[in-house]
Structure 1
Amino acid sequence: MLLRFAVLGCAGVASTAHAHVKWFAPYIVGAPPQPLSATLTNQWFWIGIALVLMFFLATRAVEKMSVGQSILAGMDKVMNPLWMRLDDFVRVVIAAFFVAIFAVGGVYLTPDLKTPNEWVSWMQLLIAACVFSRRTMPLAAAGIIVLWVLALTEYDLFHLLDYLALGVSVAGYLVLESSKKPQWRKYRFEVLRWGVAIALMWSSLEKFAYPDWFYPLVEEKPFLTFGMPRDMFIPMAGVAEFTMGFGLLWTALVRRLSAITLFVIFNAAVYPFGRIDMVGHALIMAIIVAIAADPTPQVRFAIRRSVWTIPAMLSAALLVFASGYWGLHLALYGPSGEANAPTAEMATHTYSAEHPHGPQVIGQATAPPAPSGAHGLGHTAPPASASGGSAREAYEASMARMHRPMQVGIRHPDPDVAFVLGMIPHHQGAIDMAQIQLQYGQDPVNRKLAQEIIAAQRHEIQEMKAWLAARGIPQPN
């Protein structure tokens, strides 16, 4: 959805529904990202940049006119009641967020970061309780940082960095809000604004580095693209998310319109992806509201330049973030993307029976239970045959497991049922082979293909099992 609103937003409306798309597809943490050159030669990337620049330049030009000041005055009038109680609003949302993830249970800072430690949930409840007193706010801030550090013991650093910017900004807000020194307290909302902006710009790069993570999302929920082709939607959605985050750092009208656009984006994602998605994005949504409500003409630490410096500053931001993203991945994993990379398949989004999507929809039914403690990023165990020995032995064992249930399935007297009962183990065999390829294979093209096979075959297994369930036919083991 992000792209739909993005294109409209560049023309004067908004952009689309955003969520960490790695939530919706299996991925390998150490897999090499798509070369940056692929993005720089993508026409849709540059079209998106051009549309957003037109929007920013027009907004900045209007802001300097009397009509722009009238628009800002109208925003102030509407949002002034919230602005007068903004600290109360932010604290209530922070507390409500930690109560919500306490209720979800077994997570760190978002519903997709799982943990087997029950005491972590009680720590979240304690953080929520500490938010309402200025004496205990620093304890709540420390607790947020501790949760991130604890998550780092089970999760990969590279894929926790977007959570870091948001967590530090919320912790910083609590520390500054509790301060008795006005010269420090006045920076509390700026810290939140920069934290969200950095988190959005960093996470948007996934759409350029790993576009295949988004394929299952587009296939399972095609209405999100409003008919746009997949390879057009994904890069332009990345542009929309990055530039709206960048807009939060600009001048008053650009900043507030960007915040309103992002608020529409995140709210639009709630219904398609369920209440858990709302919990996961609650802090970002609250901070975006705070930014939109801020009437300050020129906030501290804003980018205050003339209209014609917008392209240069946006280019500089893209250069810094892209260099950091691809450069850090290279430093952590090496050129081949294999250094210290776990071999198990991963998926960061927790399975939801209310709104099923992503690899765990099928993984819950077909994969063996994960061993105790294997909760990082939704880890699933590799096929048993792939845990040791050679690739050839693993492939042969996966085929042996597939053949018997296939033979049993195709013997059903109903040819339609026989087809489905035979195809389910056939698809599971393809998934097993793809997982083995990811464990042993080195070729980046084959590894990417294997990831796509896993996502596609699991989605089709889901459809076939739903077909069987609708007809009251027992599910295959």
Structure 2
Amino acid sequence: MLSSLPRKPGLGIALALTGALAPAAASAHVKWFAPYIVDAAPAPITRTLADPWFWTGIVLVLVFFIATRLVERTAAGETALDAMDRVTNPLWFRLDDFVRIVVAGFFVAIFSVGGVYLTPDLKTPAEWVSWLQLLIAAGIVSRKTMPLSAAGIIFLWVLALRDYDPFHLLDYLALGVAVAAYLVLESSEREDWRKHRFEVLRWGVAIALMWSSLEKFAYPEWFYPLVEEKPFLTFGIPRDMFIPMAGVAEFTMGFGLLATPLVRRLSAIALFVIFNAAVYPFGRVDLIGHALIMAIIVVIAVDHTRELHFWSWIRRALVGVPIGLAGALVIFATAYWGLHAAFYGTDTRTMAEIMAEEGEMATHSYSLEHPHGPQAMETLREGDELPPITPAELGDTSVADAYAQSMMGMHDEMMAGLRHEDPDVAFVLGMIPHHQGAIDMARIQLAAGTDAENMGLARHIIAEQQQEIDAMRAWLDARGIEMPGG
């Protein structure tokens, strides 16, 4: 099964920036858009356990956490927390207002983007979803209507789970449930409930980070194309060293958000720096997609609460650091590998086996929208539609001839579609080849062009026009209408 899913690779930015903050590295949680072969079996856990770089990362993290806990027990640790409290007091006293503004602003932002559920990468052709997002934003204005907004968030996640692969959306689900739970608790009149409102946000982000980090152990091959496209992300660290250590860093930084006050606040500060640094190379969509996570990280860094409500004795004890980390690794790894087997069975091939049989870049299915994905035509799978113009096919053909060929094909199909008797259907049947013509021209630009601005524009055209083609094809399918010629 091929499923178009947004996954989140660890970045070299994280390793470099956090290296300056602590002995352990952290990993930014950056979305990128690629249709992975998601039913491929995860690599055996023994592969990770035999990797010396995995254990190197674990040792560095344990040293950092234990050292921080030792400082936290002293007067210096209390002084550090008091200083953080004084600096963050202005926001702490208005923290609920901050959270509500960011959550409402996020839903206004994705309403403006349109065609998505709850992140820019979970797309939907349903226009009414955008208006529901606007209602969710409006409901956050009043505490009386916040539970309704919470219900709306859960409803949209249910729709996303219906349309997308559930296993690979579990980290997103944790975040959505946490935000909805915050809205319910914040609107409550019971103080014994309200005191947990920031805590549920912390757990939501921590679970999301720890769950998604396991992809770097289960599917390290998924990150090879990104590393090849953007080698600066690793800052020169060898790929097979970087990926497992980035996975350890992301998992442990998420784990750190559940620890004692100084550990969790330092972890949150490091993550906030990392997420902001990732916005520049990945753009504004990355900022929108991470807005809720970044806001919750700010909440964790600002939170003055010193009380630990769950398992406080083990979390405060030094021995609780290795015990807690080992327990978290066992629980999450067991759940990840076990649930994958439950969803897909145990007879599927691993990514290493797929790549050995189908090519070095067969990490996911071919897609015009994803320039960092596999570009070799032999990686196309059965049933994928072969684009009319590709860089490889351009060869010795002149650019002018390539453009002319693409326009002739577009014109004939467009005119055939426009002859339909229903004006609505005619519009869609005409626009699909029109958009495909724009994609073909953009492909030629990527094959023959050299101007960086035009290359970026071509990639944007491909992504936007293909999204609209998919929406129009879905509209036709819903009405049982076929394109001319089948």
TM-score of the pair, normalised by structure 2: 0.73
1:410 counterpart letter in structure 2: D
- For 1:177, the equivalent position in structure 2 comes to 186
In 2 relative to 1, CA 258–469 (structure 1 residues): closer, same or farther, beyond 3 Å? closer
1:104 aligned residue (99, 103, 113): 113
Q: 1: CA distance between counterparts of 2:363 and 2:258?
A: 39
Q: 1: CA distance between counterparts of 2:198 and 2:85?
A: 17
Q: 1: CA distance between counterparts of 2:73 and 2:343?
A: 45
For residue 300 of structure 1, report the CA deviation from its aligned partner. 2.4
Instruction: After superposing the two structures, state which structure 1 stretch, 50-59 or 1-10, moved more.
Output: 1-10
In 2 relative to 1, CA 251–26 (structure 1 residues): closer, same or farther, beyond 3 Å? same
Question: Is 1:409 the counterpart of 2:395 in the alignment?
Answer: yes
2:372 aligned residue (350, 355, 358): 358
Contact 1:145 1:167 in 2 (8 A): yes
Q: 2: CA distance between counterparts of 1:302 and 1:268?
A: 34
Contact 2:15 2:26 in 1 (8 A): yes
In 2 relative to 1, CA 186–334 (structure 1 residues): closer, same or farther, beyond 3 Å? same
Contact 1:25 1:216 in 2 (8 A): no
Q: 2: CA distance between counterparts of 1:207 and 1:410?
A: 41
Q: 2: CA distance between counterparts of 1:72 and 1:259?
A: 14
Residues 325-340 of structure 1 aligned to structure 2 (within 5 Å): 325-337=336-348
Q: 2: CA distance between counterparts of 1:77 and 1:468?
A: 50
Contact 1:36 1:209 in 2 (8 A): yes
Question: Is 1:84 the counterpart of 2:70 in the alignment?
Answer: no
- For 1:260, the equivalent position in structure 2 comes to 269
2:23 counterpart letter in structure 1: A
How big is each residue's C-alpha offset from its partner over 1:171-206, in whole Å with a ceiling of 9 and x where there is no partner? 000000001111111111111111111111001111
In 2 relative to 1, CA 470–181 (structure 1 residues): closer, same or farther, beyond 3 Å? closer
Q: 1: CA distance between counterparts of 2:26 and 2:187?
A: 35
% identical aligned pairs: 63
Q: 2: CA distance between counterparts of 1:194 and 1:37?
A: 28
2:347 counterpart letter in structure 1: S
Q: 1: CA distance between counterparts of 2:366 and 2:83?
A: 44
How big is each residue's C-alpha offset from its partner over 1:5-64, in whole Å with a ceiling of 9 and x where there is no partner? 35444427x6343314xx254411211111111111111111111111111010000000
Q: Find the residue that maps to 1:274 and give its secondary structure.
A: helix
Q: 2: CA distance between counterparts of 1:226 and 1:64?
A: 36
Contact 1:24 1:347 in 2 (8 A): no
Q: 2: CA distance between counterparts of 1:186 and 1:281?
A: 25
2:219 aligned residue (197, 210, 215): 210
TM-score of the pair, normalised by structure 1: 0.74
Contact 1:247 1:255 in 2 (8 A): yes
In 2 relative to 1, CA 121–99 (structure 1 residues): closer, same or farther, beyond 3 Å? same
Q: Find the residue that maps to 1:250 and give its secondary structure.
A: coil
- For 2:332, the equivalent position in structure 1 comes to 321
The 4+ residue runs of structure 1 with deviation greater than 2 A are 1-10, 14-18, 23-26, 298-305, 343-348, 356-360, 408-412, 460-472
The answer to which structure, 1 or 2, has the higher relative contact order (CA under 8 A, 6+ apart) is 1
For residue 75 of structure 1, report the CA deviation from its aligned partner. 0.3
- For 2:197, the equivalent position in structure 1 comes to 188
- For 1:455, the equivalent position in structure 2 comes to none
In 2 relative to 1, CA 122–346 (structure 1 residues): closer, same or farther, beyond 3 Å? farther
- For 1:445, the equivalent position in structure 2 comes to none
For residue 153 of structure 1, report the CA deviation from its aligned partner. 1.6
For residue 79 of structure 1, report the CA deviation from its aligned partner. 0.4
2:15 counterpart letter in structure 1: L
In 2 relative to 1, CA 3–26 (structure 1 residues): closer, same or farther, beyond 3 Å? farther
Contact 2:34 2:364 in 1 (8 A): no
- For 1:222, the equivalent position in structure 2 comes to 231
In 2 relative to 1, CA 411–79 (structure 1 residues): closer, same or farther, beyond 3 Å? closer
Contact 1:197 1:246 in 2 (8 A): yes
- For 1:434, the equivalent position in structure 2 comes to none
Instruction: After superposing the two structures, state which structure 1 stretch, 300-309 or 217-226, moved more.
Output: 300-309
In 2 relative to 1, CA 347–239 (structure 1 residues): closer, same or farther, beyond 3 Å? farther
In 2 relative to 1, CA 347–97 (structure 1 residues): closer, same or farther, beyond 3 Å? farther
In 2 relative to 1, CA 146–465 (structure 1 residues): closer, same or farther, beyond 3 Å? farther
- For 1:369, the equivalent position in structure 2 comes to none
How big is each residue's C-alpha offset from its partner over 1:419-446, in whole Å with a ceiling of 9 and x where there is no partner? xx9xxxxxxxxxxxxxxxxxxxxxxxxx
Q: 1: CA distance between counterparts of 2:261 and 2:213?
A: 23
Contact 1:130 1:140 in 2 (8 A): yes
Q: 1: CA distance between counterparts of 2:145 and 2:58?
A: 44
- For 2:17, the equivalent position in structure 1 comes to 5
Q: 2: CA distance between counterparts of 1:294 and 1:313?
A: 22
In 2 relative to 1, CA 461–157 (structure 1 residues): closer, same or farther, beyond 3 Å? farther
What number of residue pairs does the alignment pair up? 388
Q: 2: CA distance between counterparts of 1:469 and 1:202?
A: 36
- For 1:141, the equivalent position in structure 2 comes to 150
Q: 2: CA distance between counterparts of 1:182 and 1:24?
A: 42
Q: 2: CA distance between counterparts of 1:273 and 1:220?
A: 12
For residue 359 of structure 1, report the CA deviation from its aligned partner. 3.5
Q: 1: CA distance between counterparts of 2:212 and 2:195?
A: 28
Instruction: Please tell me the root mean square deviation across aligned C-alpha atoms, in Å.
Output: 3.4
Question: Is 1:245 the counterpart of 2:254 in the alignment?
Answer: yes
Q: 2: CA distance between counterparts of 1:228 and 1:134?
A: 49
Unaligned runs of 5+ in 2: 1-12, 350-361, 403-442, 463-486
Contact 1:9 1:15 in 2 (8 A): no
Contact 2:104 2:140 in 1 (8 A): yes
1:50 counterpart letter in structure 2: V
- For 1:298, the equivalent position in structure 2 comes to 307
For residue 336 of structure 1, report the CA deviation from its aligned partner. 2.2
For residue 344 of structure 1, report the CA deviation from its aligned partner. 12
Unaligned runs of 5+ in 1: 367-381, 388-393, 422-459
For residue 358 of structure 1, report the CA deviation from its aligned partner. 3.4
How big is each residue's C-alpha offset from its partner over 1:121-163, in whole Å with a ceiling of 9 and x where there is no partner? 1100100000110110000000000000001121011011011
Question: Is 1:124 the counterpart of 2:133 in the alignment?
Answer: yes
In 2 relative to 1, CA 57–164 (structure 1 residues): closer, same or farther, beyond 3 Å? same
For residue 345 of structure 1, report the CA deviation from its aligned partner. 5.6
Contact 2:23 2:60 in 1 (8 A): yes
1:69 aligned residue (64, 78, 91): 78
